[in-house]
Structure formats: C-alpha cells, structure tokens
Structure 1
C-alpha cells in the first residue's frame, strides 16, 4: 500500500513539474542559430535553424556593449538589448542581456515587467534605487539602494523599476532568463495603447479626473 502512495506521489510530482518550467523550453540540440529564411522548414522557438555546417563563431558574438549610450530622453535612460535578434546563436538557449545607461539625478528605467523572464541586475557605475512589487492582494514593495558591485533580482512577471539617485551617470547590466523576455512598460501600455482604452475606464481604474486621463493619453500616444 505504501508503494502505491509512493507512486501516486511521483505521478503527481511529474504532473506538477509539467506546469513549473523555465520561461523557454530546454533545447534538444547543441544549438539552433536563428535564421530569417523561409526556405528552411525547421522552426524552433519562432526562428528557423541555420544549417550547423554553416554556423560560425560570429553567430554567438556581439560587440559594443562597453559603449555608453546617451540617456537624454523623457525617462532619462537607454536600454541596449542583446537578445536573439542581436546574437542568433541565443536561439533556444533561454538567456539574454541588456545594458542600461541612466542620466544623473533621476534618470530611470520606469515601472515595467518582463512577461517571460526573471532579471538579475548588476550595477557597474553610480547609485540606483531599485525595487519590485508583488502581485495582488498585498502589492508589497521590495526595494534597495544599489552601489557599484551590487546585484538585485526581479522575479519573472513582476512590476519593477530602477532610478539613478546620484548626480553622475549610472550604468547597469542585466541578465534575463529568456532569449526574448519581452517588456511591458506600464505607463506606455496603459495610456498609450493603440487604439486607446476608453478614458472613462482608466479614470475609474486609477481614480483620476477624466481630463487628467485624456491628457496622459495624449502624452503617451504614438
């Protein structure tokens, strides 16, 4: 009888594990270098696979992440992405990288989520105030002030942010657990959708005056 319960437990564990997996499926080959060529009919993770005999080291290489980018935009930050579109060899490997440059005195990577990835952030220069918020009903803020050499993790799918609280430029690098983590910037998504969300809906949801909502939609519209 004990053996029956033991087998039932492992059957349940196997069933549950099918729902608890990494963001990207594990590859079943050494690599699948992405190729935008419809003449190939093997599609893996949304990309065609390059014939392995034509694969080179350059398919796994990217240059230039050491170069600072200007952050003189509305939010005061610039994100340089290195995902499967920049390194075709990342296809099926479930990982990507970004560099973030922040302007002094409040430059920020505004509240956003990555629907397909956990993020681990490393601060190279400057001082950042960072945090993430848990899901309903608690909406608990976990935040920290980071200095050079510090690392912070943002769990998959949760809203998070970074703000440069110093008076000099800041630089951070982040690894993400997906070849294509996606990004949903909250303000842009809610107030800049195309077509726009009915402003009465947003006014009630955010407890804002209707005219304020319309002004925000004008600001964030593409």
Structure 2
C-alpha cells in the first residue's frame, strides 16, 4: 500500500510538471493555414483583421500610395501617407504596415503614440530631430540625416521635427497591419465629447481660458 501511495504521488507531481510545460505552448499564435488573406473592407473586421475576399488578383499585392510629394501646408507642416490594411488590403493578417511621412521646414509630427506597434523609420531626405519618451519621462533624441534609422518602442510617446532648411521625408514601418495613432494634442483638446475643463486645468496646472483657447484650435 505504501508503494502504491508513493507511486501515485510521483505520478501527480509528474503530471503537474508536464502541464506547466505544455500549457504555455498552446498559448502561442497558430501557424497560418493559408498563403494570404486579402481583406474584404466591405465586411466588419474581426479580432485578427478583415475576412478574406473571395476574388483575388495580382493588383491586390501591390500599392502605389506612398509616392509624393505630399502637401504639407497645414498647421503642423506634416503629412502622412499610410499603407495599412485600410488603404492596402493585401496587408490583412500579415502584421506589417508602412507610412510615407513628409515634413515642411520647421514642420513637426506632434507627440503621439502607436498602441499596437513598434515603429522603425529611415530618413530619406533632410534632417529630422527624432525623440521618444520612456515611462519614467526620460527623453532619448537625436538629429538624423538621410540614410539613418530610428526605432520607437511600442506604445511610447514620440515626435519628429524637421530641423533642416528643406522638406524632409522618411519611411516608417510597423509590426502591425493597423498600428493606430493617438496624437496627444488633438486627443486631449479635440475629443468628442470634450474632456471637462476642470480635468485639463488641473492636469496642466493652467486656467480655464487657456484650456478653452486650446480646445478652439482643435475643434472639429
């Protein structure tokens, strides 16, 4: 009987140990079951992207929307041409996307973050001051020139500023088909419904007049 109890105890220990190794392996992404899944943008998206459209052609795998020049005559002096699943459905379920970003002299891509992706970028033309902030408010920044590359960790606030005398251009890439962008100025002061003035005056240690003035610049 004692031998049987010991064997049972050893079996339970072995089984529990085996579960610790097996269960995590089941939590990884499944292997793809198809070569591609061109997104059907007329359908509602699911958790992992859009449903696959049935009729596929060669044009689904090519995209020409990253060309320029772009019109940067706006208050920030920056324009972004995206190649994500919404503009290039061939990226559906592939976990990648790109942007063409152009900045006028002095133009700023304002502080923003991408909640679903890490960003890597290459300066194509001009000189760009690139910076990002860590969660303990440390700023990492550098002026980059054509041919140099930067990386922004996922979810961290960052910005780009054209410090040159001519238009700057960069190509950025993301490990998400739709990385999303939370642009802090317009998010905080242009939300709909509005964030209460009391919250913003307390958060920014300012007065209601200043907050309302800022909201007027981002309204609509």
- TM-score computed with the length of structure 1 as normaliser: 0.85
Deviations 1:51-90 (A, max 9, x none): 2xx3111111111423210111000000000111222111
Task: Indicate the residue corresponding to 1:78 in structure 2.
Answer: 79
Contact 1:26 1:92 in 2 (8 A): no
Of residues 169, 190, 193, the one that matches 2:191 is: 193
Contact 1:123 1:173 in 2 (8 A): yes
Distance 1:29 1:48 in 2: 13
Distance 1:212 1:96 in 2: 38
Q: Which runs of 5+ in 1 are unaligned?
A: none
Task: Indicate the residue corresponding to 1:90 in structure 2.
Answer: 91
Q: Please tell me whether residue 212 in structure 1 is matched to residue 210 in structure 2.
A: yes
Q: Which runs of 5+ in 2 are unaligned?
A: 1-9
CA radius of gyration, larger in: 2
Deviations 1:109-157 (A, max 9, x none): 110011111100100000000011011xx21111111000000001111
Distance 2:204 2:46 in 1: 42
Deviations 1:165-202 (A, max 9, x none): 00111000000111111111000000111111111110
Question: Which stretches of structure 1, 4 residues or longer, exceed 6 Å deviation after superposition?
Answer: none
Distance 1:119 1:26 in 2: 24
Instruction: Give the superposed CA RMSD.
Output: 2.5
Aligned residues: 208
Task: Indicate the residue corresponding to 1:183 in structure 2.
Answer: 181
The 1:81–1:37 alpha-carbon spacing in structure 2 relative to 1, beyond 3 Å, is closer
